[in-house]
Amino acid sequence: MRTKWIKRAALAGFLALSPLAAHAAGDQVTVTYKDDIATLDPAIGYDWQNWSMIKSLYSRLMDYTPGTANLVPSLAESFTVAPDGLTYTFKLRSGVKFSNGREVVAGDVKYSIERAVNPKTQGPGAGFFGAIAGFDDLSGGKADGLAGIETPDAHTVIFKLSRPDATFLHVLAINFSSVVPKEAVDAAGGDFGKKPVGSGAFTLKEWVIGQRLVFEKNASYYLKDTPRIDGFTVEIGQEPLVALLRLQKGEVDIAGDGIPPAKFLEIKNGPDAADLIVDGEQLQTGYITLNTRIKPLDNVKVRQALNYAIDKDRIVKIVNGRATPANQPLPPLMPGHDANYKGYAYDVAKAKALLAEAGLPKGFSTVLYASSTDPNPRIAQALQKDFAAIGVKVEIKAIANANVIAAGGTEGQAPMIWSGGMAWIADFPDPSNFYGPILGCSGATQGGWNWSWYCNKEIDKRAVAADSMSDPAQKDARAKAWGGIFTDIMEEAPWVPVFHERRVVAKSKRMGGPGEIYIDPTRVINYDAIFVKH
Amino acid sequence: MLQLVIRRLLGAMLILLGVAAITFLLLFMLPADPAVQLAGRSATAQTVANIRHELGLDRPLIYQFLSYLGHLATGDLGRSYTQKTGVTTLIMARLPATLVLMAAGIVIEVTLGLVLGIVAAINRGGMIDRGVMMLSFVGVSAPQFVVALFLLYVFAATLGWFPMSGFGSLGHVVLPATTLGVLGAGWYARMVRSAMIDVLNQDYVRTARAKGVSEVRVILRHAVPNALLPIIAMIGIDIGQFMSGVVVVEAVYGWPGIGQLAWQAIQQVDIPIIMGVTLISALAIVAGNLVADLAAPFIDPRIRAR
Amino acid sequence: MHVLRALMRRPSAFLGLIIVVTIIVLALGAPLIAPFSPDEQLFDGLTLEGAPIPPDAVYWLGTDTLGRDVLSRLLFGARTSLLIGLVANGLAVGIGLFIGMVAGYLQGTVSNLMMRFTDLMMAFPALLLAITLAALLKPSLWIVALVIAMVNWVQVARIVFTETRGLVERDFIMAERSLGAGHARIIFRHILPHLMPTAIVWGTLGIATTVLLEATLSFLGIGVQPPEPSWGNIIFESQGYFTAAPWLVFFPGVAILLMALSFNLVGDALRDILDPTQRGRL
């Protein structure tokens, strides 16, 4: 950890010296989105739109080097982990101030995490803190705070865990761990999400509901030369197509919703493509869940046959090549991804043979649920065609996301679900995030997200073991353990991994910096790092 | 008259109550669970249960409905599940945009309808009359999203006369308002035409003409005011029709009104917002119908058949 | 026959009739006429980069974003749209007739309740109601028809109610009643025949509204399920492409317009011909 911290300081120093970093005052950036920004309350906000804004409004004990998945201390100056992996001690930076002028102290960290866990907050992220001692009491309403967070002095926070958790540092870097001042939360009277107060790189200056949000640089932010722009405005209600036309004209700097498929080829083949498009991997997998509790999908041979049936290259073509074919749940950038794993290659003959072995030589009929937002109905129809080729007749139900999620979380309802439009990017760059909720036994419950209802107790045990390897020295061994878990799961084929969608962002020519800060694996757009070229 | 108004107002209240009850029931029969939706992928079962409890979704339906009505009585439309803020705030923030759009839509449909109707009536039976009548039928028959995409393609994407979407300047309102107004313009052109023809055949108009009053004056002084009355009465009913139209028009043009809010909320099963927008729309429709009913005596019986 | 002849005499109605018949013939003959299967994702139907192909000699109206022939999809889509138009509107007119007639004939509480319910339904924003219903009931062709019928019957009920009330007051009904005729006899022998013109007019005019509502629901992604083509969902699937591939929106848009227009032209003429209050005026 320490070495990386030094590296980051060096990087910052280099950027400060480079001529590009010397930006003039008044660099204002315009970003557009179609849908409303739901809330900027870090204990509640949990969608890919507000995720990056919350990141930049607040600070957390831990954070990532921009554009990478490397953890670094942020609001914390330093930290130590006890050998048993059960005690984490953080020293806070001194002199960090909230935008209301008060200094950030250890009690704020404790308050903020307790707030995220407290059922009254209605926050979705409570479960991430399950390893902290006293979690069950607070979450179950038996206590008002977390016994496992201690603040011996204003600049020291000690976490006591009830079990080792290798992802704990990542947990302290997700938005739910953002530090908020209690007095501002109380003063907002439940409207904190619209009146945010934090200690991040930006502050919210204005919010005109349904129209725009204006963010202003926090001049006293504790990281040197961060942020590199003076502010940004998020305009709401902008159709992606329109946003793109405005971007080409220079009126918009970042089209937040990306490039609509209809425009992608035109822009990609246009003269300015290199300046306008940032195209990169993200931590995402698009998959079909095969419900292991519905006949005939309960037969592993049938699930394997379905895996062999999909021509993933053609599906990638339908999304204009903006994805990489997948053969396993973990995306390539995720630690644990097995580049040597071959998976199930497209092979119609083999698929038919497996179906015959399963006693279904003539195929069968089933239902595929999908989100009704473009391009998912189209992808569903392409999948339907491939399944038809091996005799599997698929009926498509393209419905609103909420209804797909409801069907998936009801036992015995949805035989197959295409995850596109719903399975978003990972919460944090750790392989465990691809297991528990979506492939583990705990997710296979009413209202859960394990839509294949796959539950292998043996694998569950291996997952717990892997997550207990919290010593940083075991990092590689842990990644390997996780990789093995996912390839072993694929033997039982509860999913058809279809592709890893790449993120394609359109930015105006004047926006500078490496592509990674526009498709940041942990932030999407990294407002702290982007800058305007002069 | 006053008694009639009071009776109608009471009736309107009952209707709104009914609308609230039916919408509430329908929304709670939806298979989607708002708590699951809010909690997201990584939430534990305990988190989902906690959120459901805090939202009051674990209480009996009738209790939830009565408590909703209780809040409604004090003008409180509840809090949005996803945006965590008052529905009243959200609707009030967006209502002006929708009202601007509707007002502009009414201006366009009345102007277009009047001009086309007068032109057709003057040229009764001729090619122009037939052309205008055919055009009015096309307007009535065109789906709003097709009109919207067509106008966008021609006037924004190709000719570049108007911005493609957004809100703020006069230029922004032209295409969405035209889309909204085309339908009504078709009806009004037909109404104005028949009203004008009636008036132009009246004895006093004939007399005026015989006296040598100019044709323009005849039309402006006698014919147009008579044709306007039914239109004014019809605008009440139009408000109700527009409430449905704004969902599509605001979706296509990215107009920051309550139609867009409703559409987002439906996708996210944000029940308080859906309830709020439905009630506001129902209120507008009931109010519009009330206006239309009070104005009914002024409307030509043939037009009422619409 | 008299009605048909009267229709033919009006140029606009005649035009409408021709379009209606053409659409019906094309829809029925779709399997014979269509150059491709409507669901076939043709290998040549996409460019190497995955873009749809503009109209050419092979694909007369171009291909869509999955490489399917737009002409074939339009022809088969006509079946869906027509079917929904007829079924949904038939249902709506049926419900409207029943409620309007019964409420108009009966006096008292039942009648009052029925009309208050109709008022209630009038106050619903139609599209919002349809969207909620469509989300509640898993969308399919028949469900879409049902949803549309549940939204569209209200207007018919109102008009039928008013007309029935008018009829009930008339001498010949009074006479029948005083002679002791049963309710069923009066309703079916005397009232229903007088309501037929209204039913026919709405049966035609309403199809236009229904086709538009189906298209709108499909356009919003809650209508007929893919890959079953309907004119609305063809546009829905391609709406983002309207600048890059305008043919994907233009042709189905014109088709919907023509169908609604033709039914409106015929229905309007029928109203002029059949509506007694209009008779003699023209």
CB contact under 8 A, A378 and C66: yes
Kindly report each contact of residues A243-250 with a partner whose C-beta sits within 8 Å and lies 24 or more positions away, as own/partner.
Answer: A243/A32, A243/A34, A243/A506, A244/A506, A245/B164, A246/A32, A247/A276, A247/A506, A247/A507, A247/A508, A248/A272, A248/A276, A250/A508, A250/A509, A250/A510
Helix axes C231-238, C192-219, angle to 10 degrees: 20
Q: Does any domain span residue B178?
A: yes
Chain A CB contacts of B90 under 8 Å are 209-210
Which residue is associated with the tokens 């926070």? A157
Q: Does any domain span residue B259?
A: yes
Confidence of residue B299 (pLDDT cuts 50, 70, 90): low
Question: Could you tell me the CATH number of the domain that includes residue C111?
Answer: 1.10.3720.10
Chain A CB contacts of B256 under 8 Å are 210-211, 236-237
Q: Does the pLDDT value for residue C23 go beyond 90?
A: yes
| Residue to substitute from B27, B29, B41, B269, interface A, most A β-carbons within 10 A | B41
CB contact under 8 A, B94 and A438: no
Of the candidates B84, B52, B119, which has an alpha carbon nearest to the alpha carbon of residue A45? B84
Which residue is associated with the tokens 């674990």? B58
CA distances from B157 to A405, A451, B46, B151, B252 (A): 37, 42, 51, 9, 14
Q: Does any domain span residue C194?
A: yes
CB contact under 8 A, A406 and B93: no
Chain A CB contacts of C243 under 8 Å are 241, 262-263
Does this model's pTM top 0.90? My answer is: no
Q: Does the pLDDT value for residue C72 go beyond 90?
A: yes
| Residue to substitute from A310, A403, A499, interface C, most C β-carbons within 10 A | A403
CB contact under 8 A, B157 and C120: no
CB contact under 8 A, C50 and A321: yes
Residue B236 has a pLDDT of 74
What chains are in contact with C, requiring at least 3 Cβ pairs below 8 Å?
Answer: A, B
Region C184-210: mean pLDDT is 85
Please indicate if any CB of chain C lies within 8 Å of the CB of A494.
Answer: no
Chain B CB contacts of C239 under 8 Å are 145, 149
Residue B293 has a pLDDT of 72
Residues 6+ apart with CB under 8 A from A162: A86, A131, A132, A133, A134, A135, A148
Q: Does any domain span residue B273?
A: yes
The residue type of A195 is K
Residue A262 has a pLDDT of 75
Chain A CB contacts of C239 under 8 Å are 374
Q: Measured between alpha carbons, how far is B46 from C114 in angstroms, rounded to an integer?
A: 46
Chain A CB contacts of B46 under 8 Å are 126-127, 139-140
Mean pLDDT of chain B: 83
CB contact under 8 A, B244 and C128: yes
Percent of chain B residues topping a pLDDT of 90:
10
Q: Does any domain span residue B50?
A: no
Q: Tell me the range of A219-223, B132-136, B293-297 where mean pLDDT is highest.
A: A219-223
CB contact under 8 A, A125 and B79: no
- Residue among C119, C220, C242 minimizing CB distance to B15: C119
How many domains is chain C built from? 1
CA distances from A301 to A298, A360, A383, A387, B253 (A): 9, 10, 19, 15, 49
Shortest distance between the Cα of B261 and any Cα of chain A, in A, equals: 8
A:247-286 residues touching chain C, CB 8 A cutoff: 260-263, 265-266
How would you classify residue C67: left for phi > 0, otherwise alpha for psi between -120 and 50, otherwise beta?
A: left
Question: Could you tell me the CATH number of the domain that includes residue B125?
Answer: 1.10.3720.10
CB contact under 8 A, A319 and C50: yes
Q: Does any domain span residue C195?
A: yes
How buried is residue A77: exposed, middle or buried, by Cβ count under 10 Å (0-12/13-18/19+)?
middle
Structure confidence by residue, pLDDT tens digits, C43-59: 888 888 788 899 999 99
Question: How many CA within 13 A on the CB side of residue C121?
Answer: 20
CB contact under 8 A, B44 and A127: yes
How many domains is chain B built from? 1
Looking at the structure, give the CATH architecture of the domain made up of residues A284-501: Roll (3.10)
Q: Does any domain span residue C48?
A: no
- Residue among B19, B248, B251 minimizing CB distance to C120: B19
Q: Does any domain span residue B150?
A: yes
Residue of B nearest to C15 (CA): B134
Q: What is the enclosing helix (H) or strand (E) of A154?
A: none
* Residue B264 lies in domain: 87-299
Q: Judge contact between B83 and A172, C-beta under 8 A.
A: no
Q: Does the pLDDT value for residue C9 go beyond 90?
A: no
- Residue among A374, A375, A381 minimizing CB distance to C227: A381
- Residue among C124, C136, C208 minimizing CB distance to B19: C124
CB contact under 8 A, C225 and A398: yes
- Residue among A124, A239, A407 minimizing CB distance to B47: A124
| Residue to substitute from A120, A122, A247, interface B, most B β-carbons within 10 A | A122
Q: Judge contact between A448 and B33, C-beta under 8 A.
A: no
Q: Does any domain span residue B242?
A: yes
Grouping H, G, I as helix, E, B as strand and the rest as coil, residue A160 is strand
CB contact under 8 A, B256 and A194: no
Residue C281 has a pLDDT of 34
Residue A490 has a pLDDT of 96
Q: What is the enclosing helix (H) or strand (E) of A417?
A: strand A416-418
Q: Does any domain span residue C51?
A: no
Q: Does any domain span residue C212?
A: yes
Which residue is associated with the tokens 């100056």? A77
Grouping H, G, I as helix, E, B as strand and the rest as coil, residue B298 is helix
Please indicate if any CB of chain C lies within 8 Å of the CB of A318.
Answer: yes
CB contact under 8 A, C51 and A374: no
- Residue among C125, C132, C212 minimizing CB distance to B26: C132
What chains are in contact with B, requiring at least 3 Cβ pairs below 8 Å?
Answer: A, C
| Residue to substitute from A266, A368, A372, interface C, most C β-carbons within 10 A | A372
Residue of C nearest to B251 (CA): C220
Which residue is associated with the tokens 């906000």? A45
Residue A529 has a pLDDT of 93
Shortest distance between the Cα of C237 and any Cα of chain A, in A, equals: 7
Residues 6+ apart with CB under 8 A from C78: C23, C26, C27, C30, C231, C255, C259
Structure confidence by residue, pLDDT tens digits, A79-104: 999 988 999 999 999 999 999 999 99
How buried is residue C206: exposed, middle or buried, by Cβ count under 10 Å (0-12/13-18/19+)?
buried
Q: Judge contact between A397 and A368, C-beta under 8 A.
A: yes
How buried is residue B53: exposed, middle or buried, by Cβ count under 10 Å (0-12/13-18/19+)?
middle
Confidence of residue C277 (pLDDT cuts 50, 70, 90): low
Q: Measured between alpha carbons, how far is C134 from C130 in angstroms, rounded to an integer?
A: 6
| Residue to substitute from C127, C150, C204, interface B, most B β-carbons within 10 A | C127
CA distances from A79 to A5, A158, B299, C26, C70 (A): 12, 10, 80, 75, 63
**Which residues does chain A have with pLDDT short of 70?**
1-25, 423-425
* Residue C84 lies in domain: 2-43+59-278
Q: Does the pLDDT value for residue B197 go beyond 90?
A: no
